[in-house]
C-alpha cells in the first residue's frame, strides 16, 4: 500500500533513479546495497565512496527524486544575511544546512542530505517555523556557512578558536611598562 502511494506521487527510490538514468547497473546497485547493509551509511554515500557515481550526479538524482531544485555555490554566496542568521550558526554547522529563504511561517534551507530528518526537525525546533529544503553540495553549504556567519575573515576565525579553547593572547609589546 505504501509503495503504491509513493508511486502515485511520482516518488522513486534513489537506486531506481540512478538505474533509469543509466548511471548505475542493477549489478552495481546490488553490490552497493550489500555494502550498505554491512555499514550504517546511506546508499548515496556508499555509491560515491565506491566511485560508482560522482557527488554531483548523486545530488542531481536526489534533486530529481525529491522534485527539488539543485542550488549552486554562486546561489548560496548571494543569500541575504538576515535570512541566513535565522538559523543559529551552531545548528547550521553541525547539520551542514543553511537558511536560504523565509516566508511568514516557513523557512527554506539548503542541505546535501534531504533524508536527514533529525536535522530538519532540529531546524524546525530552533526556529519555530515549518521547514522545506533544496539540495546543494555539502562543500558549497560549508563555504556559505563560513562566508555568511564569519564573513570569511580568518582573523575572526582565529579569535573565535582562541575563545572556544579558553586561550588568552598576551602581547609582549609594552610588557615592561
Instruction: Reply yes or no on whether the pLDDT at 31 is more than 60.
Output: yes
pLDDT confidence tier of residue 5, bands split at 50, 70 and 90: very low
Q: Mean of the per-residue pLDDT values for the chain?
A: 82
Report the predicted TM-score, pTM, of the whole model to 2 decimal places: 0.72
Domain containing residue 135? 73-165
Indicate whether 7 and 91 sit together in one domain: no
Indicate whether 9 and 55 sit together in one domain: yes
Give the pLDDT confidence score for residue 148 in this predicted structure.
Answer: 92
Q: How far is CA 74 from CA 34, 79, 137, in A?
A: 37, 9, 12
Q: How far is CA 81 from CA 29, 99, 145, 160, in A?
A: 41, 9, 11, 20
Grid cell in block for residue 44: 548515496
CA-to-CA distance for 160 and 162, rounded, in angstroms?
Answer: 5
Higher pLDDT, 3 or 59: 59
- Count of CB atoms situated within 10 Å of the CB of 114: 19
Give the pLDDT confidence score for residue 108 in this predicted structure.
Answer: 98
- In DSSP terms, 108 is beta-bridged to 101, 132
Question: Are the C-beta atoms of residues 165 and 130 closer than 8 Å to each other?
Answer: no
Instruction: Reply yes or no on whether the pLDDT at 17 is more than 60.
Output: yes
Grid cell in block for residue 50: 565506491
Give the pLDDT confidence score for residue 160 in this predicted structure.
Answer: 44
Give the pLDDT confidence score for residue 68 in this predicted structure.
Answer: 95
Indicate whether 40 and 78 sit together in one domain: no
Indicate whether 84 and 110 sit together in one domain: yes
Indicate whether 7 and 62 sit together in one domain: yes
Residue 171, domain member (yes or no): no
Indicate whether 87 and 141 sit together in one domain: yes
Indicate whether 79 and 160 sit together in one domain: yes
Residue 49, domain member (yes or no): yes
Indicate whether 43 and 88 sit together in one domain: no
Indicate whether 52 and 103 sit together in one domain: no
CA-to-CA distance for 52 and 165, rounded, in angstroms?
Answer: 41
Boundary residue ending a domain (15, 44, 66): 66
Indicate whether 30 and 90 sit together in one domain: no
Query: Is the dihedral angle over the CA atoms 52, 144, 142, 85 positive or is it negative?
Result: negative
pLDDT confidence tier of residue 4, bands split at 50, 70 and 90: very low
Q: How many domains does the chain have?
A: 2
Amino acid at each position: 500500500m505504501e509503495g503504491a502511494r509513493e508511486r502515485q506521487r511520482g516518488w522513486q527510490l534513489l537506486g531506481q533513479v540512478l538505474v533509469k538514468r543509466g548511471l548505475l547497473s542493477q549489478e552495481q546497485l546490488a553490490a552497493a546495497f550489500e555494502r550498505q547493509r554491512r555499514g550504517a551509511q546511506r546508499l548515496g554515500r556508499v555509491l560515491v565512496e565506491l566511485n560508482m557515481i560522482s557527488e554531483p550526479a548523486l545530488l542531481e538524482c536526489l534533486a530529481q527524486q525529491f522534485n527539488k531544485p539543485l542550488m549552486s555555490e554562486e546561489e548560496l554566496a548571494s543569500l541575504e544575511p538576515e535570512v541566513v542568521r535565522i538559523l543559529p550558526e551552531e545548528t547550521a554547522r553541525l547539520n551542514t544546512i543553511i537558511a536560504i529563504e523565509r516566508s511568514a511561517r516557513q523557512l527554506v534551507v539548503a542541505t546535501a542530505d534531504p533524508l536527514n530528518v533529525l536535522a530538519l526537525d532540529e531546524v524546525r525546533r530552533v526556529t519555530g517555523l515549518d521547514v522545506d529544503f533544496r539540495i546543494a553540495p555539502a562543500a558549497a553549504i560549508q563555504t556559505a556557512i563560513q562566508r555568511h556567519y564569519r564573513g570569511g575573515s580568518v582573523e575572526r576565525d582565529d579569535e573565535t578558536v582562541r575563545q572556544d579553547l579558553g586561550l588568552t593572547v598576551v602581547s609582549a609589546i609594552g610588557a615592561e611598562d
